[in-house]
């Protein structure tokens, strides 16, 4: 028995074996995930209060903000009902963390220096190629002289 044999039949035309086969092959969908409509649990509120108070008590000299803790506080706060939010610890004012400074852009002198380095590298490559061509020409010239001498004889 295959699914293709059964799939196009009407529900009422299916035999008990076919129904059992389909039930085994295609189990019913899982129930929807339970949603937390009652707000956060007491443990979650306690965790939020602990984190919020920790940041609320920090001053600018010992301020160490952990991204994971801030994300956890946001998550817990979003779980809370309006009533729970009113009774929870005040949300701390966490300053935005500035982006790291950009690396300094190369100065005009550094740009010129890079261009010169590239030109020097190119010149060196050309010198090597020229030396190879010179060696090749000398070899060919010697071969031509030998051939001329042979022709004269």
Q: Is residue 152 part of a domain?
A: yes
The whole-number pLDDT of residue 13 equals: 80
Whether 47 and 83 map to the same domain: the answer is yes
Which range of residues forms the domain containing residue 22? 1-29
pTM attached to this predicted model? 0.40
Q: Is residue 69 part of a domain?
A: yes
Whether 83 and 117 map to the same domain: the answer is no
The whole-number pLDDT of residue 135 equals: 95
Q: How far is the C-alpha of 77 from the C-alpha of 48, rounded, in Å?
A: 7
What stretches in the chain show pLDDT beneath 70? 1-8, 30-37, 59-63, 94-97
The whole-number pLDDT of residue 95 equals: 64
Residue in this structure with the two tokens 């010179």, named with its chain if needed: 134
The whole-number pLDDT of residue 116 equals: 93
Whether 22 and 47 map to the same domain: the answer is no
Number of domains within the chain: 3
The whole-number pLDDT of residue 137 equals: 94
Q: Is residue 128 part of a domain?
A: yes
Q: Is residue 51 part of a domain?
A: yes
* 56, 48 Cβ separation under 8 angstroms: no
């Amino acid at each position: 028995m295959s699914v293709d044999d059964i799939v196009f039949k009407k529900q009422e035309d299916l035999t008990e074996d076919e129904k059992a086969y389909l039930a085994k092959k295609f189990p019913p969908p899982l129930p929807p995930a339970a949603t937390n409509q009652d707000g956060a649990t007491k443990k979650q509120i306690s965790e939020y209060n602990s984190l919020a108070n920790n940041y609320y008590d920090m001053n600018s000299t010992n301020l160490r903000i952990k991204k994971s803790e801030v994300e956890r506080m946001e998550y817990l706060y979003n779980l809370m009902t309006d009533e729970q939010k009113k009774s929870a610890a005040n949300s701390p004012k966490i300053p935005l963390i500035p982006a790291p400074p950009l690396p300094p852009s190369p100065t005009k002198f550094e740009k010129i220096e890079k261009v010169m380095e590239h030109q020097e590298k190119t010149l060196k490559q050309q010198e090597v190629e020229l030396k190879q061509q010179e060696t090749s020409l000398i070899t060919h010239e010697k071969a031509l002289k030998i051939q001329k001498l042979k022709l004269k004889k």
